[in-house]
Amino acid sequence: MNIYNILKIKHVSNIEIPPAIFIEDALNRIATPAFEKLGLKNNKHKYIWEGNYNTNEIKNIIRFSYRGPNVNFMIGKNFKFIPILNNKDEIKYKTNELQLFENIEYFDNKRGISLWNKYFFENTLKRFIKNESDRIHDLFMSSIDINGNIEIALRQIQDKYSVYEIRYPNPKYVLAFLYAKNREKEKSKIIMTEYIEESSITNCNLLLKLDMI
């Protein structure tokens, strides 16, 4: 037997990315029951857990993704009233897209989840779910209304040394719609104008969309 497997150490000799069927099974066994306790279901898409829109037109979403041995959970919100710009600057509404969210590093920036092989994936997934479920719950509860999400968007915008600046959708874009929903139309137009200028977006209908909320 490989000595690195016995010692539970990652080594080039024991890297073996698990097949998709194993990944899906582990998620169903370990992640889905925990996410169901948070009010999320995994019905429509195999790597997406969704809640229902609340009275503020906000719903919780968790999305799983991976590339090679690297795993990510994106945890946050979709807003029924916020459209998404596609790569042609066309405005579309999507109900299963994360719009304001945190990556796995926000919860666990040291160890994370590893797809090095089956053993590491299952055990690091269990550890993440056990250790971070309460923090995920707290994030969801702190952002059930518009003001809570405005606070998150402002925090992300003010964090100059993070991935938030290159995130899609950008927190500034989301914040503009949140301000509009909060009846702060002047603030919403100022922040959207800044975002349009910074991003060289050609679709000026975004400002009109703010007035329609």
Block means of pLDDT (10 residues each) for the chain, 213 residues, are 55 78 96 97 89 97 94 97 81 92 88 91 96 96 97 93 85 97 96 90 80 87
Give how far Cα 201 sits from Cα of 108, 138, 165, 198, 208, Å: 34, 35, 16, 8, 14
pLDDT at res. 7: 43
pLDDT at res. 200: 81
pLDDT at res. 14: 67
Which DSSP string corresponds to 146-205?
Answer: HHHHHHHHHHHHH-TTSGGGG-SS-HHHHHHHHHHHTT-HHHHHHHHHHHHHHHT---TH
pLDDT at res. 172: 95
Tokens at residue 79, please?
Answer: 């807003």
Using only C-alpha atoms, the chain has a radius of gyration, in whole angstroms, of 19
Give how far Cα 158 sits from Cα of 7, 39, 71, Å: 43, 30, 26
pLDDT at res. 5: 58
**48: amino acid identity, one letter:** I
pLDDT at res. 51: 97
Give how far Cα 114 sits from Cα of 25, 179, 193, Å: 16, 38, 40
Angle between helices 171-181 and 205-212 (to 10 degrees): 40
Tokens at residue 75, please?
Answer: 């945890």
CB burial string 93-109: b at 16+ within 10 A, e below: eeeebbbbbbbbebbbe
Looking at the whole model, is its pTM more than 0.85? yes
The alpha carbon of 164 is separated from its chain's Cα centroid by a whole number of angstroms, namely: 12
